[in-house]
Chain A
């Protein structure tokens, strides 16, 4: 079974609109972390935001926020007021508890290709 599922292979969004990118995860570890990365066409991986499984509040970083619904095992990324420069691949990833059969290495989803249209 896939540990990270991103169900939207591609999305087109109008500039200035808010965007929600979906991510669901599967783990039996009580302690885990969830990450979002952006990969523009140039190829680099840019860290956007992190949410720990025990964090009480949803993480926010500037225009990025993470809608964490633990019971549903979902960690959707919300981008407010989208910009043309937001066009990129977006990856959701999970780190399971080290020593519990997991490692600090991240497990990635297949990504969502977001295109912002003017």
Chain B
């Protein structure tokens, strides 16, 4: 158990819909990262937050957005969903001042029908 929690574990929805994925980092970790793992694209970095502020953007679509709240949990919002958005979405966190280790949560498997 990495200490990173993600909910829900599975999510099935329809095209055009909007969903929110939730992540709680390990206790004390200020950095949160979101990744997408799909068969087509492999594992891709989407976005990073540090202590409530966006720090870096990767290959995140404009239809996707994220935020980190004062209690440090983070949410990834996916809108106007397409079939190709079906993937495993991971959240990871890293300790303050040490990005040598990123601990991954169990992931949320999103299926868009």
Residues of A within 8 A of B (CB): 33, 35, 37, 43-47, 50, 52, 91, 93, 95, 98, 103-111
Contacts and interface: CB of A to CB of B under 8 A. Distances in A.
Interface of B is mostly: strand
B94 A47 contact: no
Given A43-B106, A104-B94, A110 B42 contact: yes
Interface of A is mostly: strand
A47 B103 contact: yes
Contacts of B45: 103, 105-107
B33 A50 contact: no
B43 A35 contact: no
A52 B100 contact: yes
Nearest to B31: A104
Name which of A105, A106, A108, A109 has the most chain B CB atoms within 10 A of its CB.
A105
Contact of A98 (B33, B47, B56, B101): B56
10 contacts: A37-B104, A47-B101, A47-B104, A50-B100, A93-B43, A98-B56, A103-B58, A105-B46, A105-B47, A108-B44
Interface residues of B, number: 29
Nearest to B50: A104
B106 A44 contact: yes
B48 A45 contact: no
Interface of B: 2, 31, 33, 35, 42-48, 55-58, 88, 90, 92, 94, 99-107, 109
B104 A44 contact: yes
Given A50-B101, A98-B56, A103-B58, A44 B43 contact: no
A45 B104 contact: yes
A105 B33 contact: yes
B107 A105 contact: no
B103 A104 contact: no
A50 B98 CA distance: 12
Contact of A35 (B48, B102, B107): B102
